[in-house]
Amino acid sequence: MKFIVSSTYLLKQLQVLGGVINNSNTLPILDNFLFNLQDTTLTVSASDLETTMSSTLDVESDSSGNIAIPAKLLLDILKTFPEQPLTFIVEDNNTIEISSNHGKYALAYANGDEFPKALELDNPSRTTISGDVLATAISKTIFAAGNDDLRPVMSGVFFQFSTDNLTFVATDAHKLVKYTRSDVAASETAEFIMPKKPLNLLKGILLGSEEDVKVEYNDSNAKFTFENSVLICRLIDGKYPNYEAVIPKENPNKLSISRNQFLNSVKRVSIFSNKTTHQIRLKIAGAELNISAEDIDYSNKAEERLTCDYQGDDMQIGFNSRFLTEMLNNLNANDVQLEMSLPNRAGILTPIDGLDEGEKVTMLVMPVMLNS
């Protein structure tokens, strides 16, 4: 088995695949990349058993073979090469030799047949979606997903596909984000929960990509095919909570304000908030928004006044400043609207501008009880 490939081209593909590999694997074979060569086509795969990703590369070769090469060692050596062709030759003594312009390097390899086989999906449903739309949907929602091992369904992003639109939802019970695209639809209705790790990989690869992504899914797995790559992952098992039930429908009190001004004010004031609760108080009356925080234990307090556009009754409501900051950071709008009904009901944050055609974002933040 012998092939020649560009060093930077190989490194670029392997760095993406390296994101699949865990720092500590139960099976030693998972610390390797699987190289499968068929003439001029080299397929490299990485897996952690839950997520498997493979990329197809064009190489110069007329042989075939199947071996597993230590991932960390290979990445470390590739990072040091300037752009040049590298020749890989499998030797008889169970090593693979890499020849560069400067020298030769030998690595021990493992038998490729030990590597877990990629799953085939039985009777999958299919949808095609633009790479950039998918990446945007992931980045707009993934920050709101939870980290609680006891509630695994909330640790992923809920994909809800219908013949009218695609909806992506994430929540950790304190905040919730619902992102809808009405300009894209699926051929049939489907729902599944995607884990964070494969979503972060997809987001990194697809942001700004014009390529179409073919999404296939059944009850237990999903498969994403794009350009020269395939990602297959196991879905999170379980029923997603009824998120529509927690979104308050009647919100008569509406506050419109510049996103940047609001965000900077919340950031400054929150420095003076209690380090455990991160509580800030919003006091709204007329066209004035008063943002304040106090840490009684240390006698720290801060208060800022902003002008805003407000329709509704005068009210005071408390929020966790970290959740508010995260949400405002994840909106691309110049102006945002915060809709509220009562101080103990969730507030709904939506962008007023900056949305693409067919795009809709609804963010929900739970209030915290104010100590008077």
Encode pLDDT of 46-60 as tens digits. 999 999 999 999 999
The 8-class DSSP code of residue 235 comes to: P
Domain C-terminal end among 114, 134, 153: 114
Q: What is the DSSP string of 264-310?
A: HHHHHHHTTS-TTT-EEEEEEETTEEEEEEEEGGGTEEEEEEEE-EE
Residues 341, 362 within the same domain: yes
Neighbours of 84 (CB within 10 A): 11
Asked if residue 257 belongs to a domain, the reply is yes
In a domain, 119, yes or no: no
Task: Return the closest-CA partner of residue 81 out of 12, 2, 3.
Answer: 12
Residue 189 counted as domain residue: yes
pLDDT in tens, the chain (372 residues): 999 999 999 999 999 999 999 999 989 999 999 999 999 999 999 999 999 999 999 999 999 999 999 999 999 999 999 999 999 999 989 999 999 998 999 999 999 999 999 889 998 999 999 999 999 999 999 999 999 989 999 999 999 999 999 999 999 999 999 999 999 988 889 999 999 999 999 999 999 899 999 999 999 999 999 999 999 999 999 999 999 999 999 999 999 999 999 999 999 999 999 999 999 999 999 999 999 999 999 999 999 999 999 999 999 999 999 999 999 999 999 999 999 999 999 999 999 999 999 999 999 999 998 876
**99 and 155, same domain (yes or no):** no
> Residue 35 belongs to what H/E stretch?
strand 32-38
Contact of 210 with 131, CB cutoff 8 Å: yes
| Side-chain-side CA neighbours of residue 334 (13 Å) | 2
Q: Can you give the CATH number for the domain in which 78 is found?
A: 3.10.150.10
Domain residues for the domain of 288 are: 247-368
134 shares its domain with 98: no
Is 120 a member of any domain? no
State the pLDDT at residue 249: 92
Q: Contact at 8 Å (CB) between 17 and 77?
A: no
Residue where one domain finishes, among candidates 78, 95, 114:
114
Q: Are residues 97 and 129 in the same domain?
A: no
48 part of a folded domain? yes
Residue type, 359: E
Total of domains in the chain: 3
| 161: Cα separation from own chain's centroid | 18
Quote the pTM value: 0.92
Q: What local confidence, expressed as pLDDT, does residue 372 receive?
A: 60
pLDDT of res. 346:
96
Q: Does residue 259 belong to any structural domain of this protein?
A: yes
Is 200 inside any structural domain? yes
| Whether residue 15 is found in the same domain as residue 61 | yes
